[in-house]
Chain A
Amino acid sequence: MSSDDKYDSALDLLRRLDPTKLKTNLQNLISLEPSMAEDLLSSIDLPLTIKQDPKASNREFLCCDYNRDMDSHRSPWSNDYYPQLTADDLAESPFPSEKLRELEIICNDSFDVYRDLYYEGGVSSVYLWDLDEESDFAGVVLFKKSNSSSSNWDSIHVIEVTNSGNGDYNYKVTTTIILQLDSNATSELKLSGNLTRQTERDFRVDTNKEDQLRIAHITNLGTLIEDIESQMRDMLETVYFEKTRDIFHQNKNSLISRNESEKSAQAEIVKGLQNL
């Protein structure tokens, strides 16, 4: 089998196996075929972890593969890696260019306001990196919120911004939201997983001035991510609380007879045919 087939099969398995054991399953698959490690680790979004930045009053920041170098993670607040790297290692570590770092600071500021307004708590971090073309860049916008019980929300927006010329910019966003809900009621209940979607939008940016360009980028990215998160929150609510509950009652239902359910199955087939 080609390595592409193996990689595709690994992705297929990861969407079938228990999403709460994603990390273990990922490690298991890599142990079966170590050559897939790099591709899998860079394409599978794991729940975000939190570190503290000692140079920014121990302010929390989010960690994922995108701000990692060896076992350290770059903080968006001080732009330093923690745990600290040696000078030799640091010389090789990725940092955004000076110009892009200015945009990264504004993005972190703005999305921190957004986080406060929508999440009322939690942590946010934005990391940017340069692309080959000077006016293009990529990055990741992250949010994490946990509440007192063991419920968690992780948003991971991977962005790519390209200048298509004549002042038009293309914004591509791949969003994964990992949502885990645990009930602490008497019966054990776990409702968890992740949904992913891709969005693309073009915006016109009528300026060549650096500071105005930065404001245009954060305005466009902010608007886009706010829209995506609102839509995905509705989608999550539908899938988690309507869809799974409906499927559960298609297996077990004290209220309806089997005849009625066969009718609804038939209706679903008819609907399916109409959609062809």
Chain B
Amino acid sequence: MSESNFEEVIHEIIFDSPAGEIKEVYDSLITIVGENSKDTLLNVIEQYNVKNNIPIDVDGNKVLLSENNKDGASRYFDPIIGVSFTVDHLNRKGLDVETHQAKGFTDDHKKLYQSILDYTVNAYPGNVTIAVYPITEESTEEATKLEIIISSTKYNPGNFWNGDWRSKYIYDIASKQLTGNIDVQIHYYEDGNVSFKSNKKIEENSVNDVLNTISTIEKGFENSLDVSFTELNEKQFKSLRRRLPITRSKINWGKAIGNYRLGKDAAEGA
């Protein structure tokens, strides 16, 4: 296999993994491809962590990774605690922590951060990490957009399940447009492999109250998923296989089983 094909396959496998199981996926992949490919795997895991806004433990504080809190090639920053750091991407830990002042991050942005944090307390029972990152204009160093991310995870590998919620938005300060998407993934893998995935694209115009808009969207999405669950069960699942046969009793196996067919033909007047 060529090197580029190899990387493509590794990329596809890692990007298909549930966020709570990257370590296990890494261990299994290393067993198959060998320690020599370690750097390729870790490189892909870094891309995965940034793309999926994975929370990193930085001296006890959780910080979400994103394209918008990069500080140079391999450092990331957090405007709230005012640090920058490098990342051990496999173990999700911040290293080489230094003080750092984020460009364009104002007191208003800090207030928004706090209000979103307050909102999550009553809406997200999982392990919550949030971020508000300024996206600045190079010439003025002022934020023209904000990236807002809410991550809520609940991992329970002992009972073979892991769950992730991630909603991320870009708020354009001048045009007042809010765009983004919500991703949900639940993985249940006791005696099998069951995956529940859902996502929704968001686009709202004339948004004055960012928090209120987000909380309304997220509540609506949550309610629509509850409706979908019920519909999938009531309509689709039940139409695939009955709990009991049409006759409402278990089958009388053996020589006489053909009688069911005779009975059916007679009933249909065949």
28 A-B pairs (CB sep. < 8 Å)? A12-B24, A21-B16, A32-B1, A32-B9, A117-B245, A118-B242, A120-B246, A145-B240, A179-B240, A185-B227, A185-B228, A186-B224, A189-B225, A189-B228, A190-B197, A190-B198, A196-B191, A233-B241, A239-B192, A240-B194, A244-B186, A248-B196, A250-B154, A251-B152, A251-B153, A253-B125, A258-B121, A272-B159
B62 to chain A, nearest CB (A): 15
Q: How far is the CA of A229 from the CA of B123 in the complex (A)?
A: 39
Q: Which of B16, B152, B159, B242 contacts A120 (CB 8 A)?
A: B242
| CB-defined contacts of A120 to chain B, threshold 8 Å | 242, 246
Query: Contact between A252 and B158 (Cβ–Cβ < 8 Å)?
Result: no
Q: Which residues 235-252 of B sit at the A interface, judged by CB distance below 8 A?
A: 236-237, 239-243, 245-247, 250-251
1/0 per position for A222-234, CB-CB distance to B under 8 A? Answer: 1100100110010
Q: How far is the CA of A167 from the CA of B150 in the complex (A)?
A: 64
Query: Contact between B242 and A119 (Cβ–Cβ < 8 Å)?
Result: yes
Query: Contact between A25 and B16 (Cβ–Cβ < 8 Å)?
Result: yes
Interface of A is mostly: helix
Q: Which of A25, A185, A188, A236 contacts B231 (CB 8 A)?
A: A185
* A64 contacts B by Cβ under 8 Å: no
| CB-defined contacts of B34 to chain A, threshold 8 Å | 1
* B195 contacts A by Cβ under 8 Å: yes
Q: How far is the CA of A258 from the CA of B125 in the complex (A)?
A: 5
Interface segment among A2-10, A49-57, A89-97, A134-142: the answer is: A2-10
Q: How far is the CA of A247 from the CA of B152 in the complex (A)?
A: 12
A19 to chain B, nearest CB (A): 5
With A185-B231, A191-B232: A248-B237 Cβ-Cβ less than 8 Å:
no
With A9-B32, A187-B200: A151-B12 Cβ-Cβ less than 8 Å:
no
Chain B residues within CB distance 8 Å of chain A = 1, 5-6, 9, 12-13, 16-18, 21, 24-25, 27-29, 31-34, 121-126, 152-154, 158-159, 161, 163-165, 184, 186-189, 191-200, 218-219, 221-222, 224-229, 231-233, 236-237, 239-243, 245-247, 250-251, 253-255, 257-258, 260-261, 264
| CB-defined contacts of A187 to chain B, threshold 8 Å | 198-200, 221, 224-225, 228
| CB-defined contacts of B195 to chain A, threshold 8 Å | 18-20, 190-193
* A207 contacts B by Cβ under 8 Å: no
| CB-defined contacts of B152 to chain A, threshold 8 Å | 251-252
Extra contacts, 6 of them, besides A19-B194, A118-B245 (Cβ < 8 A), are A1-B32, A8-B31, A109-B257, A113-B261, A233-B243, A248-B186
Chain A residues within CB distance 8 Å of chain B = 1, 5-6, 8-10, 12-21, 24-25, 28-29, 31-33, 109-110, 113-114, 116-120, 145, 147, 149, 151-153, 176, 179, 181, 183, 185-197, 215, 218-219, 222-223, 226, 229-230, 233, 236-237, 239-241, 243-245, 247-254, 256-258, 260-262, 268, 272
A44 to chain B, nearest CB (A): 11
| CB-defined contacts of B164 to chain A, threshold 8 Å | 251
Query: Contact between A28 and B12 (Cβ–Cβ < 8 Å)?
Result: yes
| CB-defined contacts of A10 to chain B, threshold 8 Å | 28, 32
Query: Contact between B231 and A240 (Cβ–Cβ < 8 Å)?
Result: no
| CB-defined contacts of B236 to chain A, threshold 8 Å | 147, 149, 151, 181, 183
Query: Contact between A6 and B32 (Cβ–Cβ < 8 Å)?
Result: yes
| CB-defined contacts of B125 to chain A, threshold 8 Å | 249-253, 256-258, 260-262
Query: Contact between B237 and A241 (Cβ–Cβ < 8 Å)?
Result: yes
A181 to chain B, nearest CB (A): 5
| CB-defined contacts of A32 to chain B, threshold 8 Å | 1, 6, 9, 32-33
Q: How far is the CA of A188 from the CA of B239 in the complex (A)?
A: 21
Nearest B residue to A253 via CB reads B125
| CB-defined contacts of A28 to chain B, threshold 8 Å | 9, 12-13
Query: Contact between A15 and B192 (Cβ–Cβ < 8 Å)?
Result: yes
Q: Which of B32, B126, B197 contacts A251 (CB 8 A)?
A: B126
Query: Contact between B124 and A251 (Cβ–Cβ < 8 Å)?
Result: yes
| CB-defined contacts of A197 to chain B, threshold 8 Å | 191
